[in-house]
Amino acid sequence: MNRTGVSSDSAPATPSSTETTRRGVATQAWKAFAAEPLAVVGLVIVVLISLTAIFAPWISPADPTAGVGANRLLPPLEGGHLLGTDGQGRDVLTRLMWGARMSLLIGIVPTALAFIISVPLGMIAGYFLGWIGEGIMRLLDVFLAFPMVLLGLAIVSVLGDGMVNVMLAIVIIELPFMARLVYTETSLLRQKPFITAAKVSGSSTTQIMIRDVLPNVMGALIVYSTTIVGGMIVIGAGFSFLGIGIQPPTADWGIMTADGAAVLDTSPHISLLPGIAIIIVALAFAWIGDGLRLAVDPKKRVN
Amino acid sequence: MLALFTLWGVSLLIFILFQALPGDAAISLLGSQAGNPEAVARMRSYLGLDRPAYIQYFVWLGGILQGDFGQSARFDQPVALLMLDKALNSVILLVGSAVIMFSVGIPLGVIAALREQGLFDRIGMAVVIVLGMVPVFWFGLVLVYIFALLLDVLPASRMYSFHESNRTMSVLIHLILPAFTTATISTTILARVIRSSMLETLEAPFMQALIARGIPARTRIWRHAFRNILPITVNVTGLQIGWLFSGAIFTEVIFSWPGIGRLIFDAVSARDIPVALGGILVVGAVFVLANLTADVATAVLDPRRREKM
């Protein structure tokens, strides 16, 4: 993950007064998004995998945690198992489906939380600047200066393993990046004439923040959040792989990869398939993010 | 200045994590004596746990500045000694990865830029984007599967084999797969940055002027254009060295490479917190210093930036 994905040039769209223009903007944004083939592919993948995750209990062919001892390490297509079985005789396809639940939760829930926290934090720091802004941003910079995986490791090593703690670690990993984005956007916005106009017309600071700053910050933040979901899924799976994240026997793509490592020579599919699933989901979120970047950029939206 | 502040912040962060730990170090150290309140009190005062937290912090920080990271909870050894041993192995891995990053990333980026939208560029960049998303731990297993199990040409774990007489050669052979695993993501980032800055430079008026003056392509590209993208290359490299170090944790676990990442991982698994946090602190410091070095080196290489500083 690099820090270059921060776009700071989104020109403030004039607040639309009527519902029709607002719908017009949404349609234009959707058209810009739909014009990107990869973005649409990404969206389709994420929708399909989300559906799989939601309906896993009903559509998965077997039990995700209990295996049949006699069916250990079957290669794909054998014994009625489309993608084979693992070392405990569990159906790999089933575990992949259930694993999608974990990966999506680990990717989306912390990102949503970090989103909600970073908006007020970054807006306050960026709008007031001064010692409040400096204080908040310097504090977050410390986290920013720390390698992500290690920061997560440190947090998990103290809090202990388990899904909630991994999510917490990911919120702490993401927050500095997202708050910095909001901060940068806000500090650029506050010098724009329309903010001055709002001040002159007697709007309170809270009104300006919510009505004028917030909508203009959202675009860039939504794009960024979407883009990093994939990276967070990879990191979350990494924690599970190391055995300090989600714990067995839960079906998780990181755990599955680790499970298969010992039998890599005879049954490579156990380790290799979940990794492919991770890459597909991560790519899909990155593509959606790229599409959204075009969709929220008013300069690209003409016609 | 900022780097110093950050380092200090990192140390504070680690210390707060130490403090947040559930349980009492005195009780866990005493073992069977833990029921005796007098012994606990004595141990607490011996460890300095009865002093206020901020005093403890300065004592701890003072110790670290003198190379004292405390005592491992698992082994009867100082943390610093445990780390020193492993750090060298990590540096070997890091150097190997950096060599791969440069020797693959730079030519890839430059050639892709020269053939913009050509076949090499399209395929190369597609591969780079996919590999940039690959989970390190999974990619390591893929390499093991292909090169150690299917082709059986490279060793899949440990740093050297005992029965080989030439130790250096053995280490080099064992280094190949872990180094490629560690370097992959950073290589893709370097290649992308080089490609885009090279494209920008090729468009610059001074490049047109060189063509007009009849300077041969090779000289134009490597002596003039490449020199222009050197500052950004160095900057990205500095950042990536830090990432390599933290990405190495997965590599060291998969390949049983006895480095500091493996040490941190084992410590976290065994809840040997002094070792875990000490290791994380050291790697964090390396990360911050690598960033700082990159900034300074960029300024040295780029006169425009030097004036701004």
Work out the minimum CA distance from A282 to partner chain B, whole angstroms. 7
Contact state of B144 with A278 under an 8 Å Cβ cutoff: no
Neighboring chain B residues of A242 at a CB cutoff of 8 Å:
137, 249-250, 253, 265, 268-269
A115 vs B269, residue with greater confidence: A115
Tell me which chain B residue has its CA closest to the CA of residue A148: B246
pLDDT tens over chain B, length 309 residues: 667 777 788 788 877 876 766 555 566 566 666 677 777 777 777 666 677 778 878 887 888 888 788 777 777 788 888 888 888 888 899 999 999 999 999 999 999 998 888 899 999 999 998 888 899 899 999 999 999 888 887 877 777 766 667 777 778 888 889 999 999 989 999 999 999 999 988 888 988 899 899 888 888 888 888 888 888 888 888 878 877 877 788 889 888 888 888 888 888 777 777 788 788 888 888 888 887 888 788 888 877 766 554
Residue A120 lies in a domain: yes
Contact state of A158 with B254 under an 8 Å Cβ cutoff: no
Tell me which chain B residue has its CA closest to the CA of residue A257: B138
Look up residue B223 and give its two tokens: 């002596």
Residue A99 lies in a domain: no
How confident is the model at residue A171, as a pLDDT? 93
User: Residue A41's pLDDT band (boundaries 50, 70, 90)?
Assistant: very high
How confident is the model at residue B187, as a pLDDT? 92
Residue A125 lies in a domain: yes
Q: Provide the residue type at B129 as one letter.
A: I
Tell me which chain B residue has its CA closest to the CA of residue A3: B239
Residue A208 lies in a domain: yes
Residue A20 lies in a domain: no
Helix/strand/coil for A85: strand
Tell me which chain A residue has its CA closest to the CA of residue B265: A242
For CA atoms A5, A8, A10, A15, the dihedral sign is: positive
State how many domains chain A has: 1
Q: Mutate which of A153, A228, A252, A276 to test chain B, going by most B C-beta atoms within 10 A? A: A153
Task: Choose among B144, B153, B150, B149: nearest CA to B177.
Answer: B144
Residues of A with CB under 8 A from a CB of B: 2, 138-139, 141-143, 145-150, 153-158, 230, 234, 237-238, 241-244, 254, 257-258, 260-261, 264-265, 268, 271-272, 274-275, 278-279, 282-283, 286
**Beta-carbon pairs below 8 A across chains A and B:** 137
Any idea what the CATH number is for the domain that residue A175 is in? Answer: 1.10.3720.10
- The ipTM of this complex is 0.82
Neighboring chain B residues of A272 at a CB cutoff of 8 Å:
138, 141-142, 145
Neighboring chain B residues of A145 at a CB cutoff of 8 Å:
6, 9-10, 284, 287-288, 291
Among A262-271, A294-303, B192-201, B252-261, the minimum mean pLDDT is found in A294-303
- Between CA B254 and CA B28 the distance in angstroms is 31
Residue A93 lies in a domain: no
Among A6-20, A246-260, B175-189, the minimum mean pLDDT is found in A6-20
Residue A293 lies in a domain: yes
How confident is the model at residue A114, as a pLDDT? 95
Tell me which chain B residue has its CA closest to the CA of residue A285: B133
Work out the minimum CA distance from B210 to partner chain A, whole angstroms. 31
Residue A279 lies in a domain: yes
| DSSP string for A134-194 | HHHHHHHHHHHTS-HHHHHHHHHHHH-SSHHHHHHHHHHHHHHHHHHHHHHHHHHHTTSHH
Neighboring chain B residues of A149 at a CB cutoff of 8 Å:
246-247, 249-250
Containing structural domain, residue A153: 107-303
Contact state of B17 with A148 under an 8 Å Cβ cutoff: no
pLDDT tens, residue by residue, A168-178: 989 988 999 99
- Between CA B252 and CA B265 the distance in angstroms is 9
pLDDT tens, residue by residue, A198-242: 888 888 888 888 888 888 888 889 999 998 999 899 999 999 998
Work out the minimum CA distance from B238 to partner chain A, whole angstroms. 13
Q: First vs last Cα of chain A: how many Å apart?
A: 33
Task: Evaluate whether A161 touches B273 at the Cβ level (below 8 Å).
Answer: no
